[in-house]
Structure 1
Amino acid sequence: MNAGMPPAGAATTFGVAGVQMNVSAFESNVERMGNYLRHIRTRFPWVRMVLFSELAALGPRHDRAEPLPGPTEARLASLARETGLWLIPGSLFERVEGPAGPVVYNTTPVIDPQGEVIARFRKLFPFRPYERDVAGGTEFCVFDVPGAGRFGVSICYDMWFPETTRTLAAMGAEVILHPTMTDTIDRDVELAIARASAVTNQLYFFDVNGVGDGGVGRSIVCDPSGYVLHQAEGGAEIMAIDVDFARLRRERERGLRSNLGQPLKSFRDRDCDFDVYRREGNAYPYLQSLGPLVKPD
């Protein structure tokens, strides 16, 4: 994971396919994922990377948590190697043995076309207070695709905290790969967040949801000017999109939508600081007045 400058001399376009797949909570979905990868390799030969939804491989089951590396990740790596595709397989519940017992994280592996796991990202913001038994990660994840550009990873509830996407953009991310598993009535809000995240950070935002036990669908892909490139409905769907890195870099330099706002440079050159992020002290007592983070009674 390189947090310096994005790679120079990148290709103009790079194909990314999001897969809105029917996810079962009662059986492994890995073979179905493999069939999608093989189909995409044949149907969309220009696609170089495939993104699935959150917890797509094994479903939303804590009892299926595995150590990483582990057997399911190995199967996914073999599929990436077989098809020659970059694979972001949604996420897996990762089990880590700690001094006080096992700890579970929601973790996204990043697998290159040779089947090597080059990075793992742990979800920063579990959906608390409902997702009680999952620990939050502490590290951001960006990675470079040689000859293309820089990608960042976030998972589901992370998008509700704009600091996560802004940090990835500040690390040079040009595309956010965002697997999610939303099965609640606030999906329409997330569509707005995805679009706002894309335009305020001048990047591509791939927000891929599952269907069935994996969510209500309605995945969305937005470009650096905030245009919606595609919004899925409620069924299984493949969303193959060309990422235009040349256009993205031109807009970051000159301004979005034909030389308008330059949000990233304006943020860099700001006059103010944000002391709301300081953990020490009690500068914002209102936040403490909201009470503990627990389920409503």
Structure 2
Amino acid sequence: MTPFAIAGVQMYLGMNNNIEHLRQRLDVLMHIYPWVQMVVFSELAAHGPAPHSAQPTGGEYEQDFCDMARKHKIWLIPGSLFERRNGAIYNMSPVINPEGEVIARYRKMFPFAPYEPATTPGDEVVVFDVPNVGRFGMAICYDIWFPELLRQMTSMGAEVIINPVLAHFLDRPADLAVAQAAGAMFQSYVFHINGLGVGGNGQSLIVDPAGRIIHQALTAEVFLPVEIDLDVVRRQRERGLMGLGQPIKSFRDNTHHFSVYDRKGFDRSYLDSLGPLERPGRAGEETSLPGVEAAE
């Protein structure tokens, strides 16, 4: 076995500085479950979906999270926060080790366009290693809808997908189905952790590498501490999902060139015919409503 204990935190969040609330919840979690080794908060937990809260890289919020990780000697994925960098705003998730050091920063590659107009897409796939345990990959909320990202991080060796979420729309059932399918398609554990209030409508989900639900939360505040076994991922990938499909190896061994990934040579006429990526107006009207920041 290669056991590792991860806890998701589903909690109410406001459109304000939530740091002390997060700190208190983390203190309670670690008092009840001192065996937890990594904690994951939901997307934009630091200040809600408020782009005006953006801080420079390494700013006050990030330092507060580093202090929390150091205090409890845990790996901490504090959801995400708005980062101001090179004149742009990113939805960024720091990865903090038990010494309180930021070892990676993942910037959301697929903002929920056109509802996140202030957010600039990131351009780097992020995986990181927990020594003597395994490799983890980062995907913020809507990112998980794009298998290209998950396939690349899986091809880089990721065995666990950490997915902080801020989701509260009518498409939530589809969102949950995508997260569950990701576990099976990429034979990975998936931690899909949502918030409450302005942070989402809950229903956080933890999935195993056969696509089975380990736990799904309801719509109240809850801790989700789970001990996973990375050897289960390795055996599933070697022998197949439940001894059957081996999708990662099948993709590796397929010799077809998928022309849709050829940005220069692919015929985009159908995709271009779908029109611009913008918020829809009322039926029969051509009005495009101004964008509003609402993370998904």
The TM-score with structure 2 as length reference comes to 0.93
Matched, 1:19 2:9: yes
- Among 61, 85, 89, which residue is 1:104 paired with? 89
SS in 2 for 1:133: coil
Distance in 2, Cα, partners of 1:39 & 1:133: 34
SS in 2 for 1:205: strand
C-alpha distance after superposition, 1:197-251 (max 9, x if no partner):
1101000000001001100101101000010000111111111111111111111
Matched, 1:113 2:98: yes
Alignment match, 1:220? 205
Distance in 2, Cα, partners of 1:278 & 1:118: 33
Shift, 1:281, TM fit: 3.4
Matched, 1:266 2:256: no
C-alpha distance after superposition, 1:86-106 (max 9, x if no partner):
000000100123xxxx31000
Alignment match, 1:289? 273
Shift, 1:282, TM fit: 4.5
- Among 62, 78, 84, which residue is 1:73 paired with? 62
Alignment match, 1:3? none
The TM-score with structure 1 as length reference comes to 0.92
Q: Is the 8 A contact 2:260 2:266 kept in 1?
A: no
Shift, 1:21, TM fit: 1.2
Matched, 1:241 2:226: yes
Distance in 2, Cα, partners of 1:271 & 1:199: 22
- Among 92, 111, 117, which residue is 1:126 paired with? 111
Matched, 1:230 2:215: yes
SS in 1 for 2:45: coil
SS in 2 for 1:47: coil
Distance in 2, Cα, partners of 1:282 & 1:225: 34
Distance in 1, Cα, partners of 2:276 & 2:249: 37
Unpaired runs of 5+ residues, structure 1, are 1-10
Distance in 2, Cα, partners of 1:195 & 1:203: 10
SS in 2 for 1:31: helix
- Read off the aligned partner of 2:65 and give its amino acid letter: L
Alignment match, 1:41? 30
Q: What is the percentage of aligned positions where both structures have the same residue? A: 49
Alignment match, 2:151? 166
- Read off the aligned partner of 1:23 and give its amino acid letter: L
Shift, 1:28, TM fit: 1.4
Alignment match, 1:6? none
SS in 1 for 2:91: strand
- Read off the aligned partner of 2:38 and give its amino acid letter: M
Shift, 1:37, TM fit: 1.9
- Read off the aligned partner of 1:80 and give its amino acid letter: A
Over aligned residue pairs, what C-alpha RMSD do you find? 1.0
SS in 1 for 2:150: helix
Distance in 2, Cα, partners of 1:268 & 1:20: 36
Q: Is the 8 A contact 2:259 2:266 kept in 1?
A: no
Q: Is the 8 A contact 2:82 2:90 kept in 1?
A: yes
C-alpha distance after superposition, 1:255-284 (max 9, x if no partner):
111x11111111111121211011113423
Shift, 1:129, TM fit: 1.0
Distance in 2, Cα, partners of 1:160 & 1:196: 10
Distance in 2, Cα, partners of 1:240 & 1:62: 30
- Read off the aligned partner of 2:6 and give its amino acid letter: V
C-alpha distance after superposition, 1:33-58 (max 9, x if no partner):
11222222221122100000000011
Distance in 2, Cα, partners of 1:166 & 1:281: 22
